[in-house]
Amino acid sequence: MTDVEPALGAGPLLLIAAAAVGVLLFLIMKVKLHAFLALVLVSLAVALAARVPLEDVVEVMTTGFGATLASVALLVGIGAMLGRLFEHSGGAQVLADSLIGRFGEQRAPLALGIAALLFGFPIFFDAGLVVFLPIVFTVARRLGGSLLTYGLPVAGAFAVMHAFVPPHPGPVAAAGLIGADIGLVLVFGLLIGVPTWFLGSYLFGLWAGRRFELPVPNILSGEAKTADDAPDASVEGSSPGIASGRTGTETATRPAPPRFATVISLLLLPMLLIFMNTGLTTLAAEGIVDEESTVVRWGQLIGATPIALLLTVLVAMWVLGRRRGDSGAEVESVLNSALGPVCAIILITGAGGMFGGVLRASGIGAALADVLGDIGLPVIVAAFVISALIRVAQGSATVALTTAAGLIAPVVAATDGLSSPDLALIVIAIAGGATVLSHVNDSGFWLVSRFFQMDEKTTLKTWTVMETLLGTIGFVLALVLSLFL
């Protein structure tokens, strides 16, 4: 993207950002303009108001749009296919029944959240959420109650792992920029991230589920379902056709659902492949293996998230489809049915990335840093505040992490007496700031809103509040630990 020199001072830029968010919410919630069109329109207005050169306006908009789609479209599309195969074969029902059987119905949200924490260790937020949604929807249909009771603990688990814990790119980049030990960042990320998730996501999800009644959508299902379709017993005592919402005629011809071990193996496959990528990259960075080695380069390619998901879908097509008696045409139809419902989600998510990209290009993030530069806050507090304001201004948690780390790095270097634990905790504070107040310029906001089929007002009251709790609790825990270490 062309570098655009900010044409306005910090004050006008901050006013433009605030006005843009207000106008966007007004257009979507009051005028009822489609979110995709509203995001594109407001992105154009911000670029013009911030005096981005006219010849650069379209490039700035499309670059932000394309950069988001590059990271989201493949993951969401392939992830939706994998999720649809789990749902179609009855695998989601098998895993849901197994989790409920082991943890009990009352602890089902806790079981889902813990599984998401483990699954989210190597996998990005977008991919992990999409793959897990069929399981969440199946559990919610079976047990009843609001989708938020089950969905928020899962979404929060992926959000925490994505922001707080290496090998995700945000904390890794932040650690490198301020010179923190990546191993300590990993330790503190887990030590702080797990209780942060429990307090800010799991417990909040239980409260939100009682406060907001949200039905389970049919977005990842090939056919409409009602509450009457949900089975009253486990798979062992239910018809496979009923468990997956099929008709009586199909029930007689459909094979039994896959085994629990098969479902778990398919869920673990992308995680193991991505772990291989992470491990090889780390070993190459430490000089333990030759990064130019053919084996290493192939391992990194196979373990890249889109490739890992693609290979998993290919395996699932055989294991959950052809081997169980589906024809090639039937498997193709199942996969095709997964793409239609998520196309709007992908476009709206890309438009959210466009909006954030325009805000970044206009210089609003740098303006926020300038405003805070002379306040004189403690380093760990300044790191959180700068990261939070950049997050609010441009949306992306990863961008907020890396930008805030770059801005605070000179301050860290000039501050005497900072120990290795202090540096690692500063990274966690930055991660906390990069998590708070997810709103309309964050692609994750639209991903959750559209997959959960929540309106924007409900998303702000649930997802945005949960993200703010997660970021704030994580920062407070990091701050407290910094006082004793």
Average pLDDT of the segment spanning 470-485: 93
For residue 65, give Cα distances in angstroms to 36, 61, 168, 304, 394. 11, 6, 22, 22, 13
Residue 227 or residue 47, greater confidence: 47
Residue 387 or residue 182, greater confidence: 387
Question: Is 6 within the bounds of a domain?
Answer: no
pLDDT surpassing 60 at residue 248 = no
What domain count does the chain have? Answer: 1
Question: Is 36 within the bounds of a domain?
Answer: no
pLDDT at 234: 35
Whether 404 and 386 have beta carbons less than 8 Å apart is answered as yes
Range of the domain at 380: 65-215+253-343+361-485
Residue 115 or residue 474, greater confidence: 474
Q: Which two tokens stand for residue 260?
A: 């629990």
Tens digits of residue pLDDT in 103-126: 788 888 998 898 888 777 656 687
Question: Is 187 within the bounds of a domain?
Answer: yes
Q: Residue holding tokens 């379709």?
A: 229
Q: Which two tokens stand for residue 353?
A: 């990335």
Question: Is 163 within the bounds of a domain?
Answer: yes
Q: Which two tokens stand for residue 282?
A: 């780390």
For residue 362, give Cα distances in angstroms to 13, 53, 96, 288. 8, 10, 46, 42
pLDDT at 224: 38
Question: Is 121 within the bounds of a domain?
Answer: yes
Distance CA 96, CA 132 (A): 11
Distance CA 23, CA 26 (A): 5
Question: Is 258 within the bounds of a domain?
Answer: yes
Question: Is 46 within the bounds of a domain?
Answer: no
Burial 324-340 (b: 16+ CB within 10 A, else e): bebeeeebeebbebbee
For residue 82, give Cα distances in angstroms to 219, 225, 379. 14, 20, 44
- pTM, full prediction: 0.66
Q: Which two tokens stand for residue 48?
A: 């013009």
Question: Is 3 within the bounds of a domain?
Answer: no
Q: Which two tokens stand for residue 121?
A: 């260790």
Bond into 167 cis (ω within 30): yes
Tens digits of residue pLDDT in 165-216: 876 667 877 887 788 877 688 789 889 999 999 999 999 999 999 999 999 8
Whether 426 and 451 have beta carbons less than 8 Å apart is answered as no
